[in-house]
Amino acid sequence: MISISGLSKNFGSKVLFEKVTLQLNPGERYGLVGANGSGKTTFLKILTDDESSSDGVIMYGKQVRLGILRQDQFANDEERIVDVAMRGDKQVFAALQELDALAHDPDPSPEKLGDVNDLLHREEGYTLEARARETLEGLGIESALLDQPLRILSGGFKLRVLLAQVLVGRPDVLLLDEPTNHLDILSIRWLEKFLQNFAGCAVIISHDRRFLDSVSTRILDVDYATIIDYPGNYTAFLTRKDETRDRKEAEITKQEKLLAEKKAFVERFRAKATKARQAQSRAKQIDKIEIEELAPTSRRFPKFKFEQLRPSGRDVLKVEGLHKAYGDKQVLTGVGFEARRGERIAVIGANGMGKSTLLKIITGNLLHDSGSSEWGHEVRVGYFAQDHHELLNDPKITPLNFLWDACPMEAVSYVRGQLGRMLFSGDEVDKPVTALSGGEAARVIFGKLAIQKPNVLVLDEPTNHLDLEAIEALTDSLKAYTGTLVFVSHDRHFVSQLATRIIEVKKDGLLNFNGTYDEYIEKAGDDHLDVSTVVLKAKKKPEAGDKPPTGIAVPEAKQTAKISAPEPKQKKPLNNRARELPKKRDRLLAEIEKLEAAKGAIGQTFAAPGFYEATSLEDQMKLGYRQADLDLQLEELIREWEGIEAEIAALEGA
């Protein structure tokens, strides 16, 4: 699908990669990885023709449609949100607009009507709006908002609309740069499912390790001034890359040892007549030995190290009845929880639920409306804000004096040493903090936290802007940290590696679970890998009389709900379920048969001679939309039927 031959890119004397030859095939999802500055985004821009290469050729298959996520692309703020997403399928969207114009034409051309209808049927055009709405809802935009203008959304949610636009366009090739930015965990899982079912070729840059593991079938590694294609997901790639490097280093060591032995023989016996011929032969062999010089890796791991100056008391934090609203929007309602020394608490939840607001309040960076938040005895708090760039907005400040302000009694060598651990060296310590990249700025803040030695770390999305190497180093350092940790993150690998307790922020309060993230998933009853189940559950509005899932207490406004272990299964309900399932299956099959017959009848109507001439445009459109609606209903019923069949099989095998 994409053939790359001899591709090179350099900026002046700096070579990012050279002589890269790759074949990117349909059905494969390529995770594009590499250190910050190694050339990942540049490579993606070359593929999209937004950047020119220094050398080489890129060839696409015929009539390949590209889907490109450009986070700075223009979108009309006054346009309906669903229309912005529908624009992703340019051909169908234009046909629908032309059809609408013909509908308002008092004397429409039959030929044009026929052509437009043919295109819409061929391209399943009447399903476009339904597909756009489904995609937008999957990415976490409420259905009630989809007919509103784009301007009502925040910047992060506008980017979700642009991502939906790319996905709706039915591309053959997807080129995505950090598509999980601004997505919550639910939306990331939906995107994973979409990509896993994507039949084309996808190239994806992401710093979310679990996301890469979930979606990638191959990894493109930008390192050693080239790009190497590895089979498997990110975890498999790490193992294979280490094995390849170790093997090459072992081969080089073996060659160097052999060369040293031959040189020693030549030096020892060159002057002896009886050995002169052998020495000369060895000298010729030495000339033929070529030892490969391994290029240095561009990957660099910062050395984070967080220590406590002294431990806190046992009771670290107490929050009671916390309320916070922004104007008419109530964000936090009656929030309450306590934290003990040594706990590592992950605060999770959908975007907009108030996670960052909660962290700002407990750290004293935002006033609450009512309630209380109180730190315990001897608590020293270190805070990493999601918007940490606000701390680095003075062009007169450098990384050196920013850290020195935190330890004015220390020598400059100590401060430079701390910056060196954060990968700043030479003149880099003296450049303005306003010129730092996102990852560099984050490392400077972490350097200051390391100097302050707090016994409580409060971190709001700490992995944003960090590359995979820095995230790995940060994860390891926080595992070794003996203080208390309270953090917000949408990086599931990061959460699963660190959390000993989960607090989920919900509209009606908190869910508090003592255990790891994986244990939380199991006890909560939600399979976070079964995206369809989770998304459907999230979209379902609670009705009067609805009962909470077994094992989950309903959160009260002024108390913290807890997740308990699921109740043991009872034999009698199981038998009832076994009797009811076949009946439900039969009802579903009857409904499926009925809908398929209705869909077939519409198809025959469209195919009838003289249909377009004898039928008004309005009636044609109604039939088209009805057919699309039947498709969606059938898809839902078939999915439900398959689930019941699987459950029946499981019960019969029990």
- In 340-456, where does DSSP find H-type helix? 355-362, 399-404, 412-421, 438-452
Residue 261 has pLDDT above 70, yes or no: yes
For residue 638, the model assigns a pLDDT of: 80
User: Which has more confidence, 544 or 308?
Assistant: 308
100-129 mean pLDDT: 85
| Per-residue pLDDT tens over the stretch 477-496 | 999 999 999 999 988 899 99
Kindly tell me the sign of the dihedral angle through the C-alpha atoms of 83, 87, 88, 90: positive
Choose from 330-344, 575-589, 630-644 the range with maximum mean pLDDT.
330-344
Which residues sit opposite 30 in a β-bridge? 203, 218
Average pLDDT (98-117) is 84
- Residue among 220, 210, 181 nearest 472 (CA): 210
- 174: Cα within 13 Å, side-chain hemisphere: 32
Alpha helix segments (H runs only) across 370-507: 399-404, 412-421, 438-452, 468-480, 492-498
Total Cβ atoms within 10 A of residue 318: 14
**Predicted local confidence at residue 378, as pLDDT:** 94
Q: State both tokens at 619.
A: 């009636």
Instruction: Grade residue 552 by pLDDT with cuts at 50, 70 and 90.
Output: very low
Is pLDDT at 526 greater than 60 in this prediction? no
User: And the tokens for 654?
Assistant: 């029990």
Q: What is the model's pLDDT at position 570?
A: 47
370-375 β-sheet, strand order: 329-340, 315-326, 370-375
CA distance 473 to 547: 44
CB atoms within 10 A of CB 31: 25
Q: Which helix (H) or strand (E) holds 59?
A: strand 55-60
pLDDT of residue 235: 92
pLDDT of residue 135: 93
Average of per-residue pLDDT across 7-16:
90
pLDDT of residue 628: 67
Q: What is the model's pLDDT at position 300?
A: 87
Query: Which of 263-267, 530-534, 561-565 has the largest mean confidence?
Result: 263-267
| R_g of the chain, CA atoms, integer Å | 30
Instruction: Give the HSE-up count for residue 640: Cα atoms under 13 Å, Cβ half-sphere.
Output: 17
What's the pLDDT score for residue 560?
Answer: 44
- Sheet containing strand 14-24, edge to edge, reads 14-24, 2-11, 55-60
The mean per-residue pLDDT over the stretch 5-9 comes to 95
Q: Any bridge partners for residue 17, and if so which?
A: 9
Give me 57's structure tokens.
């050729």
% of the chain surpassing 90 pLDDT: 45
- Say if CB 227 and CB 221 are below 8 A apart: yes
pLDDT at 271: 66
Name which residue leads in pLDDT, 400 or 595: 400
For the chain, what is the mean pLDDT? 83
Alpha-carbon distance of 335 to 259, in angstroms, equals 71
Read off the pLDDT of residues 47-60 as tens digits, 9 standing for 90 and up: 999 999 999 999 99
Lowest mean pLDDT among 164-178, 191-205, 501-515, 559-573: 559-573
Which one is predicted more confidently, 439 or 318? 318
Tokens 């579903």 identify what position?
A: 588
Res 290 pLDDT > 80: no
- Interval 167-200: pLDDT, tens: 999 999 999 998 988 788 778 888 999 999 999 9
**What integer pLDDT is reported at residue 537 of this predicted model?**
46
**pLDDT at position 528:** 42
Q: What is the mean pLDDT of residues 570-592?
A: 73
Higher pLDDT, 652 or 131: 131
Nearest to 41 by CA among 135, 242, 181: 181
What share of the chain has pLDDT > 70, as a percent? 86
C-alpha distances in angstroms, 237 versus 27, 200, 204, 463?
Answer: 19, 22, 15, 21
CA 236 – CA 221 distance, rounded (Å): 12
| Bridge partners, residue 133, by sequence | none
Question: What are the two backbone dihedrals, phi and then psi, of residue 542, each rounded to the nearest 5 degrees?
Answer: -65, 140
Cα–Cα distances (Å) from 135 to 128, 141, 193, 430, in that order, read: 11, 9, 12, 46
Buried-exposed string 606-636: b where 16+ CB fall within 10 A, e elsewhere: eeeeeeeeebebeebbebbeebbebbeebee
